[in-house]
């Protein structure tokens, strides 16, 4: 019972024996422990179990091994969703990182009205993906949107119909998602830039390094941790993307712009294919863990070595 | 270029570069603002102007008809009461969910950073994973659970869900904040006979205002903007505004009314935008809390 001393470590001088104060921390933490155990880990296991059954409209517990996973990867719609995630995810991450770094560097040049500009760049992050999707659906719609704007301005042959083109629609998702999240990446890097040691930069300049060289050789390399954080967050947003697709394209035309999250939702709740839906959810979990576990591991190790 | 401007003469090239820099920044600002501007312009046009004008053509005079319609009479799926009932639903969900998850997070964070016991760190690590799982892996079991508890398709059910999956984040926020409080402080208070809750109320809570603000804003934004839980767990009567907006936009009978869609979208975005404008600093701090160490 002596284990719950405050974290300075040494054993305190209080009398031994039962005291409510000793138990309080555990009692207080208990509800969250139960929640985490049941609603995170329990449910995860439950979904895993379902993914090995032939459940359709209702969960059943007839185990069929890996059959659902086999069906899943033979399912054309799932493969489209997975390919889309590959295209969408990599473009979204790359463009956001590029834009974010550039904008952060630009804003770091003693800009007047920096606060206002920063606020403008970042506001989309406060908005729901459903609103973003609705707005961009209107902008990208060829009959009334940007295409019409350009034609009316005199560019008669201007064509911008990605939203209804099955081969291009996934890039519409990229545009809208970049609009929403790139300002956030900018904010991350700007905070990082402000934390770089000023003396280091001064020394580089005294040595005759140009601004460009200083950024490339000294400042940006020191922002590696920010870079990794941004990467993980963006990958996480990409894998979980659901609302944006729902609002912007509803998966269409056909299922050309489905992402795994939308596939999972459709198969589990509208198509009564609980087994396959669960299998797709497990694949998504696998993707996230593949990114997250190495990241958390290195973070925690870093924290320990700092102590 | 942090320090190198100082002590150098600005040449013509430098001046040109700075103009280009400002031009780029303003152009980019235009890109970020454009969708919001277009939404606002479109929402103030009448149907005729929407059909014949372009995205950027201004309305002849400012109509608020489509705002009124979006608020009180537009059709979202099968009912035609506008998005106002769902806007209220969102508040019914957000307020209790934010309050409960923030309180739980504060107490959890207090225990995990100042009353460590064997396994509390392991528990924290396990909870941390809860911040990042794709919620698709819990959707179906949660739907069954809500059914058993008798709170399926209700705002109460959604409050429950948002508390359950929000508490990982709130705990993380408070834990990181309380890490910097010296343990000696707690020890001294205990020697003076203060108990678990007394220390929390008298010592910890009074210094927690900034992190409470950050957490409340974070949770408010997250829950207001949620769509996945809303669409999976709500009934017709208990939909949050994001779900209603999506239904309104995708309801197709009676022809498309883009001006009404846009008005509804702006209304749905307004609460979080207002919070952002007035408390942007705290919003950004929440966003970066988990991302940048320290």
For residues A263-287, give the mean pLDDT: 93
Q: What local confidence, expressed as pLDDT, does residue A6 receive?
A: 45
pLDDT digits (tens, 9 = 90+) for B72-109: 888 887 788 889 999 999 999 999 999 999 999 999 99
For residues A74-78, give the mean pLDDT: 94
* Cα gap B201→B181, rounded to integer Å: 15
**pLDDT value at A3 more than 70:** no
The CA distance from B219 to the nearest CA of chain A, in Å, is 12
Length of chain B: 294
- Flag whether B1 is in a domain: no
Q: Quick check: A163 and A142 in contact, CB under 8 A? A: yes
B140 and B284 share one domain: yes
Q: Which of B137, B173, B223 to mutate to test the interface with A (most CBs of A within 10 A)?
A: B137
In chain A, which among 185-224 make CB contacts under 8 A with chain B? 187-188, 191-192, 196, 198, 201-202, 205, 211, 214
B62 and B90 share one domain: no
B163 and B275 share one domain: yes
- Flag whether B208 is in a domain: yes
Q: What local confidence, expressed as pLDDT, does residue A5 receive?
A: 43
Query: Which residues in A lie closer than 8 A to residue B123 (C-beta atoms)?
Result: 29, 33, 36
Q: What local confidence, expressed as pLDDT, does residue A305 receive?
A: 60
Put simply, whether A264 touches B (Cβ < 8 Å) is yes
* Number of folded domains that form chain B: 2
Q: What local confidence, expressed as pLDDT, does residue A283 receive?
A: 96
- Flag whether B179 is in a domain: yes
B163 and B273 share one domain: yes
- Flag whether B56 is in a domain: yes
* Contact (CB<8Å) B139/A134: no
pLDDT digits (tens, 9 = 90+) for B125-180: 888 887 788 999 999 999 999 999 999 889 999 999 999 999 998 998 999 899 88
CA atoms within 13 Å, Cβ hemisphere of B106: 21
- Flag whether B294 is in a domain: no
- B63-70 long-range contacts (CB < 8 A, ≥24 apart) are B63/B259, B66/B257, B66/B259, B66/B260, B66/B262, B66/B263, B67/B43, B67/B263, B67/B267, B69/B257, B69/B260, B69/B263, B70/B43, B70/B248, B70/B260, B70/B261, B70/B263, B70/B264, B70/B267
B229 and B137 share one domain: yes
Domain end position, chosen among B72, B104, B121:
B72
Tokens linked to A281: 């959810």
**Whether the predicted interface score ipTM is above 0.95:** no
B208 and B176 share one domain: yes
Instruction: Please give the C-alpha separations between residue B173 and each of A17, A122, A276, B93, B294, in angstroms, as whole numbers.
Output: 34, 21, 36, 21, 12
Q: In chain A, whose CA is at the least distance from the CA of B259?
A: A138
Residue A57 φ then ψ, to 5°: -80, -35
* Contact (CB<8Å) A14/B191: yes
- Flag whether B3 is in a domain: no
Domain end position, chosen among B32, B51, B72:
B72
B95 and B224 share one domain: yes
Name the residue among B139, B279, B138 with its Cα closest to residue B220: B279
Put simply, whether A283 touches B (Cβ < 8 Å) is no
Q: Quick check: A152 and A145 in contact, CB under 8 A? A: no
For residues B214-237, give the mean pLDDT: 92
B148 and B215 share one domain: yes
- Flag whether B2 is in a domain: no
* Cα gap B212→B227, rounded to integer Å: 25
- Flag whether B167 is in a domain: yes
Query: Which residues in A lie closer than 8 A to residue B4 (C-beta atoms)?
Result: 201, 205, 211, 214
For residues B47-53, give the mean pLDDT: 81
pLDDT digits (tens, 9 = 90+) for B106-125: 999 999 998 888 888 888 88
Q: What is the CATH number of the domain that holds B101?
A: 1.10.3720.10
Domain hosting B65: range is: 12-72
B149 and B276 share one domain: yes
Q: What local confidence, expressed as pLDDT, does residue B2 receive?
A: 44
Name the residue among A275, A286, A214 with its Cα closest to residue B4: A214
DSSP assignment, residue A233? H
A45 compared with A298, residue with greater pLDDT: A45
pLDDT digits (tens, 9 = 90+) for B126-136: 888 877 889 99
Length of chain A: 307
Residue B76 φ then ψ, to 5°: -115, 100
Q: Which of A153-162, A227-236, A273-282, B278-287 has the highest mean pLDDT?
A: A273-282
B35 and B149 share one domain: no
């Amino acid at each position: 019972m002596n284990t719950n001393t405050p974290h300075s470590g040494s054993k305190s001088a209080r009398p031994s024996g039962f005291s409510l104060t000793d138990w309080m921390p555990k009692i207080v933490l208990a509800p969250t422990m139960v929640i985490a155990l049941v609603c995170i880990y329990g449910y995860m296991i439950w979904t895993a179990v379902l993914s090995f059954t032939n459940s359709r409209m209702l969960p059943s517990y007839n185990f069929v091994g890996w059959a659902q996973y086999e069906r899943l990867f033979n399912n054309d719609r799932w493969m489209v969703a997975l390919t889309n995630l590959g295209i969408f995810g990599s473009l979204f991450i790359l463009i956001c990182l590029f834009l974010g770094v550039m904008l952060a560097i630009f804003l770091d040049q003693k800009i007047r009205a920096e606060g206002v500009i920063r606020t403008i760049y970042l506001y989309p992050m406060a908005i729901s993906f459903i609103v973003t999707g609705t707005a961009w659906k209107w902008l990208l719609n060829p009959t009334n949107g940007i295409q019409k704007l350009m034609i009316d301005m005199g560019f008669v042959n201007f064509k911008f119909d990605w939203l209804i083109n099955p081969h291009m629609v996934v890039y519409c998702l990229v545009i809208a998602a970049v609009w929403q999240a790139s300002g956030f990446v900018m904010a991350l890097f700007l905070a990082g830039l402000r934390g770089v040691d000023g003396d280091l930069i001064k020394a580089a300049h005294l040595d005759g390094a140009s601004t460009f060289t200083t950024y490339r050789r000294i400042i940006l390399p020191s922002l590696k941790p920010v870079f990794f954080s941004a990467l993980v967050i963006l990958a996480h947003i990409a894998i979980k993307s659901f609302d944006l697709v729902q609002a912007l394209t509803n998966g269409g035309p056909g299922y050309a712009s489905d992402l795994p999250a939308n596939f999972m939702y459709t198969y589990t709740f509208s198509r009564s294919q609980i087994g396959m839906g669960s299998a797709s959810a497990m694949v998504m979990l696998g993707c996230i863990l593949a990114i997250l576990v190495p990241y958390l591991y290195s973070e925690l190790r870093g924290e320990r070595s700092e102590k | 270029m942090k320090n190198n401007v100082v002590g150098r003469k600005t040449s013509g090239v430098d001046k040109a570069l700075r103009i280009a820099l400002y031009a780029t920044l303003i152009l980019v600002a235009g890109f970020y603002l454009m969708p919001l501007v277009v939404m606002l312009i479109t929402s103030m046009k009448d149907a005729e102007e929407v059909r014949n004008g372009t995205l950027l053509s201004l309305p002849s005079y400012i109509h608020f008809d489509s705002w009124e319609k979006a608020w009180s009479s537009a059709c979202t799926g099968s009912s035609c009461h506008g998005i106002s009932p769902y806007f209220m639903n969102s508040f019914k969900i957000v307020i209790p969910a934010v309050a409960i998850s923030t309180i739980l997070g504060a107490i959890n964070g207090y225990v995990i950073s100042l009353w460590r016991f064997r396994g509390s760190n392991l528990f924290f690590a396990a909870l941390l994973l809860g911040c990042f799982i794709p919620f698709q892996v819990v959707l179906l079991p949660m739907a069954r659970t809500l059914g058993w508890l008798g709170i399926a398709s209700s705002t109460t059910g959604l409050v429950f869900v948002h508390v359950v999956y929000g508490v990982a984040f709130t705990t993380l926020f408070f834990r990181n904040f309380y890490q910097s409080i010296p343990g000696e402080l707690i020890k001294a208070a205990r020697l003076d006979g203060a108990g678990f809750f007394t220390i929390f109320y008298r010592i910890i809570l009074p210094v927690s205002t900034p992190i409470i603000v950050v957490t409340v804003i974070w949770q408010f934004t997250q829950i207001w903007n949620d769509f996945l839980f809303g669409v999976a767990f709500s009934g017709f009567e208990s939909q949050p505004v994001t779900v209603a907006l999506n239904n309104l936009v995708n309801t197709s009978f009676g022809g498309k009314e883009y001006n009404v869609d846009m008005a509804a979208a702006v209304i749905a975005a307004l609460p979080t935008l207002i919070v952002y404008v007035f408390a942007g600093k705290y919003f950004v701090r929440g966003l970066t809390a988990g991302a940048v160490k320290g």
